[in-house]
Structure 1
Amino acid sequence: MTAAEQTAPETIPDGMGTIVEPGTIRFERLLPGPIERVWAYLTESEKRGQWLASGEMEPRAGTAFSLHFDNSGLSPVRIPTPERFHRYDAGITTAHQITRFEPPRLLAITWGGGTEEPSEVTFELAEEGEGVRLILTHSRLPDARSMTNVGAGWHSHLSILADKLSGRTPPSFWTLFGKLEPVYS
């Protein structure tokens, strides 16, 4: 498939992230409410672990917390982990910090930061009819490779969140990511 075919309008999945400035990608989703339920899926370890990563967080700005990712366990639909991600088969734990905590409307956290400066993820929620508008903005990404991985990753995780909130069984994270990575690159 050529690059033009990969990005033809009929092949671009719904809910694509938008580059809003260099190093910043933004996603929007309309999710089933109420807002307190969606907030719980962002902030409560057990619920967040169903679509992103588990990890207890103290509900206030300035606190550090860890996220434990198990992307293979986000769906009962199991496929083999792609070879280049085998090192994550047992999961991976990452360190973060809450930079803003304004329930039930805004959560901002640091992201990454191993050998590079951490980026930042902001979740904004707003009631919209019976639904909840989620705006996720990931900023301070250092390069195009990061934008590709983050774009495909967040798109996949948000699709799983929408399925969970709607009572649907999500597909495998790796299936979603594998389809989205070439589109985001």
Structure 2
Amino acid sequence: MSAYGVVLESGAVRFERLLPGPIERVWAYVTEGDKRATWFCGGDVEPHVGGEVALFFKHSRITDEPPPESARKMNDEGKLMTGTVTAWEPPYRFAFNWTGMGDPDSDVEFALSEAGDKVRLVLTHRRLATKDRMAMVSSGWHLHLGLLEDQLTGARPRGFWSVHERLQAEYAERQKDASI
């Protein structure tokens, strides 16, 4: 299984990870703000379709690496984005419409399934309007899902800012022929 996301269709990328279970534990790391803040972003989720999703990004919580100047404010002070729950099926499926990342909104879905003593996580992000956004989002999910794996395995968190720019350029090259 590759760590790289794959383009599904115009403006859509899909990631798959096999993580240590049980499924309820992975679900908690995806949906509970305090656990999610250790690998992605904090913020509460109202646990029902139509509920509000708060996405508070403060990368100084997930890495001690210095950020690039363009990300310093978000890294140090944080940035709140929002969304609306579009699917809530514990512990198998959580989806939301993501607002505030740019125009237009986009859609994120986490699908979990049991795979023996592991959990298959499939993350799909749709409605990414430009090639630049597709590369940025793809590199971000790649890195954040790696940090989730580190949290679940008890490994030392891997680098984030030290590889972000390189990985974003790599995704731009990998996705250059995708129609968006």
TM-score, normalised to structure 2's length?
A: 0.90
Q: Residue 135 of structure 1 aligns to a residue in which SS?
A: strand
Distance in 2 of aligned mates of 1:114 and 1:174 = 19
Aligned to 2:67: 81
Q: Is the 8 A contact 2:81 2:100 kept in 1?
A: no
Asked if residue 64 in structure 1 is aligned to residue 52 in structure 2, the reply is yes
Aligned to 2:130: 143
Q: Is the 8 A contact 2:114 2:120 kept in 1?
A: yes
How many residues matched? 171
Runs of 4+ in 1 over 4 A off after TM superposition: none
Q: Residue 153 of structure 1 aligns to a residue in which SS?
A: helix
TM-score, normalised to structure 1's length?
A: 0.87
Structure 1 unaligned residues grouped into runs of 5+: 1-13
Bigger shift: residues 79-88 or 59-68: 79-88
Q: Give the 5 Å matches for 1:1-185.
A: 14-75=2-63, 78-88=64-74, 89-113=76-100, 116-185=103-172
Q: Residue 107 of structure 1 aligns to a residue in which SS?
A: strand
Q: Is the 8 A contact 1:113 1:119 kept in 2?
A: no
Structure 2 unaligned residues grouped into runs of 5+: 173-180
| 1:123-176 deviation digits (Å, cap 9, x = unpaired) | 000100110000000001101001010000000000000010000111232123
Q: CA RMSD in A?
A: 1.5
Shift of 1:114: 5.5
Q: Is the 8 A contact 2:65 2:160 kept in 1?
A: no
